[in-house]
């Protein structure tokens, strides 16, 4: 039996992959109807820090993983005293803190040449006063607990910066220079207990309102030299952490072609959902393999892929009334793979599911995905 801390959609897809290999699963989540809890053999319904629940999870599962980024690192450390846990609490703690994360990236940059955006950590009034002008205009991001663009503010001047930092309650933040982005991409790697690393293709990502909207993965999507640099930098970041498990690193490509490392997620990632349908091993298969100590094999993408995120907004019409969606027409398109996460309530910005298109060529997959976007009322891309 394999265990997972957290019951969201990533946990649900992990459970599906584990079950395909014949494992039983146990999920710990406070929600009695979480996406992963609904499909798992066992559910421990409790808070992530509940000591009895953590002990029960360790008693049942032979190895334990996590599926969301803000899982309490001390809960992982507690579990690790009882069972193998991957990723390790220490790696998760670094990814949870933008200040530590950026310091790690800056260390890796010495070898890979791929640096984070110019930044300054702001923890005190003195840090605030010492911010160099060159970082403005910039983006102020809370060091902890940000996701989907939450906990961020764009600031053009020192006055706006000071006001934004106060609005955030004066918590630890990083100020990053606002960069001229040409595009965004991400790389997912899996690293085994023996240090072997395999990587998935580089994903090209389009965000809307700070949330991932579209991921495209097909030939000629990105210049080959860039693909190699991004993959090498990601392997380096994983190795330097002695990471075990699935890791996603997000990058910016600037207008002048510079590759900049943005942030990492110590788990499978939304931009890797296409691997379930377009690769012979998905990011969740890799998570199961690293957790169970099974062989890692380099995955092969067999189809061009486009993934569209389905946010809760889609379930409402322009007047804010619930509407039904044209699934029949969407599923009549070739290569459509619909994944809904079993969430009963649609909310603005909530990830309800995703739709992956696969095809033999980039042209074909884009045409079908664009047609689906039109049917669903999603913006073109």
The footprint of ligand ATP on residues 12-41 (CB under 6 A) is none
Smallest distance, ligand ATP to C-beta of residue 219, A: 24
**Residue given tokens 């010492």 in the structure block:** 130
**From the list ligand ATP, Mg ion, none, which binds 148 (C-beta under 5 to 8 Å, kind-based)?**
ligand ATP
Smallest distance, Mg ion to C-beta of residue 39, A: 27
Rounded Cα–Cα distance for residues 98 and 117 (Å): 12
* By the rule CB under 6 A, 146 interacts with ligand ATP: yes
Binding mask 223-252 for Mg ion (x = CB under 5 A): ---------------------------x--
Residue 330, SS3?
helix
Which contiguous run of DSSP H or E holds residue 19? helix 9-20
Residue 175, SS3?
strand
| Beta strands 152-155 and 181-191, pairing class | unpaired
* By the rule CB under 6 A, 139 interacts with ligand ATP: yes
Name every residue whose Cβ is closer than 8 Å to that of residue 315 and which is 6 or more positions away in sequence: 322, 323, 325, 346, 352
Smallest distance, Mg ion to C-beta of residue 320, A: 28
Binding mask 63-92 for ligand ATP (x = CB under 6 A): ------------------------------
Name which of 164 and 359 has its Cβ closer to ligand ATP: 164
Contact 99, 328 (CB under 8 A): no
The footprint of ligand ATP on residues 234-263 (CB under 6 A) is 250, 262-263
Smallest distance, Mg ion to C-beta of residue 211, A: 9
Smallest distance, Mg ion to C-beta of residue 263, A: 5
Name which of 176 and 250 has its Cβ closer to Mg ion: 250
Binding mask 207-236 for ligand ATP (x = CB under 6 A): x--x--------------------------
**From the list Mg ion, ligand ATP, none, which binds 216 (C-beta under 5 to 8 Å, kind-based)?**
none
Smallest distance, ligand ATP to C-beta of residue 260, A: 8
Q: How many CA atoms lie within 13 A of 338 on its CB side?
A: 17
Smallest distance, ligand ATP to C-beta of residue 269, A: 8
Residue 33: how many other CB atoms lie within 10 Å:
14
User: Which residue from 21, 181, 294, 360 is in contact with ligand ATP, where contact means CB under 6 A?
Assistant: 181
- Give the relative orientation of helices 98-112 and 224-240 as an angle to the nearest 10 degrees: 120
Residue 78, SS3?
helix
Smallest distance, Mg ion to C-beta of residue 262, A: 6
Name which of 51 and 132 has its Cβ closer to ligand ATP: 132
Span of 8-16, 58-66, 148-156, 371-379 interacting with ligand ATP by CB under 6 A: 148-156
Q: How far are the Cα atoms of 85, 95, 120, 163, 168 from residue 123, in angstroms, in the given order?
A: 31, 18, 10, 14, 12
Name which of 80 and 168 has its Cβ closer to ligand ATP: 168
Smallest distance, Mg ion to C-beta of residue 261, A: 11
| DSSP state letter for 33 | T
* By the rule CB under 6 A, 149 interacts with ligand ATP: yes
Residue 354, SS3?
strand
Rounded Cα–Cα distance for residues 186 and 205 (Å): 7
Q: Which pair of structure tokens corresponds to residue 272?
A: 């890797």
Q: Which pair of structure tokens corresponds to residue 189?
A: 């790697």
Rounded Cα–Cα distance for residues 246 and 13 (Å): 13
First-to-last alpha carbon distance for the chain, in angstroms, is: 42
**Which residues form the interface with ligand ATP (CB under 6 A)?**
117, 139, 141, 146-150, 176, 178-179, 181, 184, 207, 210, 250, 262-263
């Amino acid at each position: 039996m394999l265990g997972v801390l957290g019951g969201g959609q990533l946990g649900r897809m992990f459970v599906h992959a584990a079950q395909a290999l014949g494992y039983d699963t146990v999920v710990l989540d406070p929600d009695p109807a979480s996406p992963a809890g609904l499909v798992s053999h066992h559910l421990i319904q409790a808070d992530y820090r509940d000591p009895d629940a953590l002990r029960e999870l360790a008693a049942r599962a032979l190895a334990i993983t996590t599926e969301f980024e803000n899982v309490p690192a001390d809960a992982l450390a507690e579990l690790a005293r009882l069972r193998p846990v991957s990723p390790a609490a220490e790696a998760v703690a670094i990814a949870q803190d933008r200040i530590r994360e950026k310091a790690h990236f800056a260390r890796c940059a010495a070898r890979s040449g791929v640096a984070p955006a110019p930044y300054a950590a702001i923890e005190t009034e003195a840090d605030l006063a010492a911010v160099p002008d060159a970082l403005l205009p910039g983006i102020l991001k809370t060091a902890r607990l940000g996701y989907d663009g939450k906990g961020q503010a764009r600031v053009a001047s020192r006055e706006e910066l000071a006001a934004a930092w106060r609005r955030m309650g004066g918590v630890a933040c990083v100020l990053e220079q606002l960069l001229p982005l040409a595009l965004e991409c991400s790389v997912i790697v899996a690293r085994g207990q023996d240090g072997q690393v395999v990587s998935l293709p580089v994903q090209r990502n389009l965000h809307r309102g700070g949330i991932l909207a579209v991921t495209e993965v097909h030939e000629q999507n990105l210049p080959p030299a860039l693909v190699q640099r991004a993959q090498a930098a990601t392997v380096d970041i994983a190795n330097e952490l002695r990471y075990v498990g699935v890791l996603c690193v997000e990058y910016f490509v600037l207008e002048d072609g510079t590759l900049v490392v943005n942030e990492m997620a110590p788990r499978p990632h939304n931009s890797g959902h296409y691997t379930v349908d377009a690769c012979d091993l998905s990011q969740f298969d890799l998570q199961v393999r690293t957790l169970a100590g099974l062989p890692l094999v380099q995955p092969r993408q067999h189809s061009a892929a486009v993934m569209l995120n389905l946010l809760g907004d889609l379930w409402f019409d322009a007047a804010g009334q619930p509407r039904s969606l044209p699934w029949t027409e969407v599923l009549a398109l070739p290569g459509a793979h619909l994944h809904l996460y079993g969430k009963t309530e649609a909310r603005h910005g909530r990830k309800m599911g995703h739709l992956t298109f696969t095809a033999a060529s980039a042209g074909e997959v884009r045409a079908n995905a664009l047609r689906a976007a039109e049917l669903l009322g999603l913006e073109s891309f």
